[in-house]
Structure 1
Amino acid sequence: MNKPIPCRYVSPDDLEARVAALEIQVRELTEEVRTGRQDTAAARVLAGGADRDVAQIREEIRDLRQATTASFNAMREDLTELRHRVDRLEVLVDRLADKVDRGFAEMRGKFDALAAGQQQIVGLLNTLIAQQGGQPDAQR
């Protein structure tokens, strides 16, 4: 390693060259420090912008999540209500179907009674016609 040479052993010309070299190095280092500080400041600005962007995206995601959850909850309530309404309608349809079935059974009974009555009337008419000699009353 180079040990510093005491000033009494250095010639003035050599000292001037060394000082000039040091001044150049100091300027270069000063410029590097300035550039480093500028880069650091720019990096801080970019990092701050990125932090704001990330915070904004997080907020948007949080808002979207809340809106989605609220929408799903509303849909769940709607589906639950709809399911209850369908269940009530199913009960009503079953009752109406039973009523229709009873009505058809009642009508079938009445039609059977009508058919029996008509058959009895036909029998009576045939008996009357036969008693009158096979001739209707209008032709006598």
Structure 2
Amino acid sequence: MESGDLEPRVEALENQVRDLTAKVHATQQDAAAARVLAGAADRDVSEIRGELRDFRNATTASFNAMRQDFVDLRQDFADLREHVDRRFEQVDQGFMEMRGRFDAAAAGQQQIVDMLTTIMRER
């Protein structure tokens, strides 16, 4: 090795070390920024998980309330149907009663017609 050759080589090595130091410093800054972003992303994911859990709980509560409403409506409908059936039975009984009265009236009218027919034949 020649002594005149040593100085440019050392200077080149110093330049390389300076470049590597700058790159290491930039890499450290990038790593720090990545840690900050990862922490923020982790908080965002936790927040979204919480929101999804709250949404799921609200949806479940809503479905349970709807299910109970349907159970109540089904019972109300059964009660209403029973009430309507009882009313129709009352109407049917009323019609049967009226039918009996009409039959009795028709029988009475038939007796009157028979008497009038008898009277008219005797004249």
| TM-score, scaled relative to structure 1 | 0.77
Which structure ranks higher in relative contact order (CA pairs < 8 Å, sequence separation ≥ 6)?
A: 1
**Distance in 2 between the 1:45 and 1:118 partners?**
106
Corresponding residue number in structure 1 for 2:66: 75
Q: Which has the larger radius of gyration?
A: 1
Corresponding residue number in structure 1 for 2:8: 17
Residues 84-99 of structure 1 correspond to what in structure 2 (within 5 A)? 84-99=75-90
Query: Per-residue CA shift, 1:96-119, capped at 9, x if unaligned?
Result: 222222222221111111100111
1:71 maps to amino acid = S
Corresponding residue number in structure 1 for 2:19: 28
Matched, 1:127 2:118: yes
**Distance in 2 between the 1:118 and 1:55 partners?**
92
Query: Per-residue CA shift, 1:35-92, capped at 9, x if unaligned?
Result: 1012112212221222122122212211210110111011011011101111111211
Residues 43-122 of structure 1 correspond to what in structure 2 (within 5 A)? 43-122=34-113
Whichever structure has more helix as a proportion of its residues is 2
**Distance in 2 between the 1:80 and 1:51 partners?**
43
SS in structure 2 opposite 1:51? helix
**Distance in 2 between the 1:13 and 1:106 partners?**
137
- Taking only the aligned residue pairs, the percentage that are identical comes to 59
Alpha-carbon shift at residue 124 of structure 1 (Å): 1.9
Alpha-carbon shift at residue 19 of structure 1 (Å): 2.2
**Distance in 1 between the 2:112 and 2:45 partners?**
96
1:97 maps to amino acid = F
- Point out the more displaced range, 64-73 or 46-55: 46-55
Gaps of 5+ in 2: none
Alpha-carbon shift at residue 12 of structure 1 (Å): 4.1
